[in-house]
């Protein structure tokens, strides 16, 4: 029992944070907000959510293609979606590594595949954080946060690109016992990350992530309007979502569950939104962005595990030759 509590401590904290938010806001008030929500607008949030993850899938596909992972867009989308079932687990994004290996049979190492995810996610989170910029002039205190965010991302890039910093990070990992299991992956991340630093990769990945970030902003904006807060403009919604993402991302809780919703509610109150409506909008956004996608991802995960979405051998050869060539008798 104690071992289980330790293993899932962060998940338990996340659930408790959400429960505390619901109780603090008042479940009856929340239910009243959802009861009067705009059903038509809520239904429109479904394609917006799907579009967000389609854009992110396409961005990841560009990085996989650069590393010569033999996967088409359809299978890349399937693995991206299936990976959403693990979003609430620590390092849940890395579940896609095992899935892409299972689907494609690629010989690329886990560290190299981790580099593709790190590359794509780093760009996504950077673009998401930039949503606070339109309000920096009216909120000078936010400028410091923006500077810190930029410095953190620059530090990560420096570690990945600059060999001495990278070697130092590897040595630190080797000395910290809980991190030693990531040693082999960390050693192969940098070479693969460097491979991705070409305009033919950076530009399309950047554009796809920009589309995904915009759709995320739009999803939250629609959630606010769905619960009746039509006075909130797109820029204000963008600012609140971006700031909530940046700050909750500092927490160790997977997906920032709990801190994200609590902070978002507080920021909405500061923008003149009633507490129950602010909390409802945050929960609605979480419901579509994570819960809905986890459900959709579960379908793809089952299909992958049953072998229905595994890549079939192709007639065109790559590496060791085509399937047809391998079957051709000698002589």
Structure token pair of residue 227: 């619960």
**pLDDT tens by residue, 25-46:** 888 999 999 999 999 999 999 9
Confidence of residue 10 (pLDDT cuts 50, 70, 90): low
Which candidate, 15, 60, 55, places its Cα nearest to that of 254?
Answer: 15
In a 3-state reduction of DSSP, which class is residue 258?
coil
In a domain, 127, yes or no: yes
Structure token pair of residue 229: 């807060």
Q: Is it the case that residue 277 has pLDDT exceeding 90?
A: yes
Determine the Cα–Cα distance for residues 50 and 99; give it in Å rounded to an integer: 20
Structure token pair of residue 262: 């609590």
Q: Which residue is listed with tokens 């299936």?
A: 82
Cβ(84)–Cβ(297) under 8 Å? yes
In a domain, 209, yes or no: yes
In a domain, 175, yes or no: yes
- Cβ within 8 Å of residue 282, ≥6 positions away: 223, 244, 260, 261, 264, 265, 268
Structure token pair of residue 194: 């460097």
In a domain, 167, yes or no: yes
Confidence of residue 232 (pLDDT cuts 50, 70, 90): very high
Q: At what angle do helices 199-226 and 39-66 cross, to 10 degrees?
A: 170
Task: Say which residue, 177 or 126, is predicted with more confidence.
Answer: 126
Structure token pair of residue 202: 């950076």
Exposure b/e, 229-240, CB count within 10 A at least 16 = b: beebeeebbbbb
| pLDDT, mean of residues 52-64 | 96
Cβ(60)–Cβ(75) under 8 Å? no
Number of domains in the chain: 1
In a domain, 109, yes or no: yes
In a domain, 319, yes or no: no
In a domain, 327, yes or no: no
In a domain, 286, yes or no: yes
Cβ(218)–Cβ(242) under 8 Å? no
Q: Which residue is listed with tokens 């995904």?
A: 212
DSSP single-letter state for residue 288: I
pTM: 0.83
**pLDDT tens by residue, 180-207:** 555 566 667 888 888 898 999 999 999 9
Angle subtended at Cα 193 by Cα 192 and Cα 195, rounded to the nearest 5 degrees: 65
DSSP helix, strand, coil percent of the chain (3-state; round to 5): 80, 0, 20
Q: Which domain holds residue 187?
A: 2-261+274-310
Cβ(16)–Cβ(8) under 8 Å? no
Determine the Cα–Cα distance for residues 34 and 161; give it in Å rounded to an integer: 48
Of 1-15, 35-49, 59-73, 220-234, give the lowest mean pLDDT range: 1-15
Residue 35's Cα: distance from chain center in Å? 30
| pLDDT, mean of residues 232-237 | 93
Distances (CA, A) of 180 to 94, 108, 156, 176: 16, 21, 19, 6
Which candidate, 250, 295, 291, 251, places its Cα nearest to that of 13?
Answer: 251
Residue 199's Cα: distance from chain center in Å? 23
Determine the Cα–Cα distance for residues 166 and 188; give it in Å rounded to an integer: 11
């Amino acid at each position: 029992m104690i071992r289980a509590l330790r293993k899932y401590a962060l998940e338990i904290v996340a659930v408790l944070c959400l429960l505390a938010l619901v109780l603090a806001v008042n479940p009856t008030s929340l239910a009243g907000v959802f009861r009067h929500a705009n059903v038509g607008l809520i239904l429109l949030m479904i394609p917006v959510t799907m579009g967000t993850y389609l854009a992110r899938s396409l961005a990841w596909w560009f990085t996989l293609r650069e590393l010569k992972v033999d996967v088409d867009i359809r299978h890349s989308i399937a693995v991206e979606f299936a990976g959403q079932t693990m979003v609430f687990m620590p390092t849940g994004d890395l579940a896609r590594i095992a899935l892409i290996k299972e689907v494609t049979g690629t010989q690329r190492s886990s560290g190299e595949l981790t580099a593709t995810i790190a590359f794509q996610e780093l760009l996504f989170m950077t673009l998401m954080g930039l949503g606070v910029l339109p309000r920096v002039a009216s909120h000078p205190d936010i400028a410091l946060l923006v500077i810190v965010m930029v410095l953190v991302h620059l530090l990560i890039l420096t570690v990945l690109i600059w060999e001495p910093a990278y070697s130092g990070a590897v040595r630190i990992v080797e000395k910290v016992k809980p991190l030693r299991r990531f040693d082999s992956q960390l050693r192969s991340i940098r070479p693969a990350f460097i491979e991705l630093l070409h305009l033919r990769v950076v530009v399309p990945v950047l554009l796809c992530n920009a589309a995904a970030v915009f759709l995320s902003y739009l999803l939250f904006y629609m959630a606010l309007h769905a619960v009746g807060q039509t006075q909130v403009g797109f820029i204000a919604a963008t600012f609140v979502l971006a700031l909530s993402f940046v700050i909750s991302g500092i927490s160790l809780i997977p997906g920032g569950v709990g801190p994200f919703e609590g902070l978002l509610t507080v920021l909405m109150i500061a923008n003149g939104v009633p507490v129950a409506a602010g909390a409802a909008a945050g929960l609605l956004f979480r419901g579509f962005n994570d819960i809905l996608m986890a459900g959709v991802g579960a379908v793809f995960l089952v299909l992958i595990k049953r072998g229905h979405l595994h890549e079939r051998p192709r007639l065109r050869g790559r590496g060791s030759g085509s399937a047809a060539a391998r079957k051709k008798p000698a002589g």
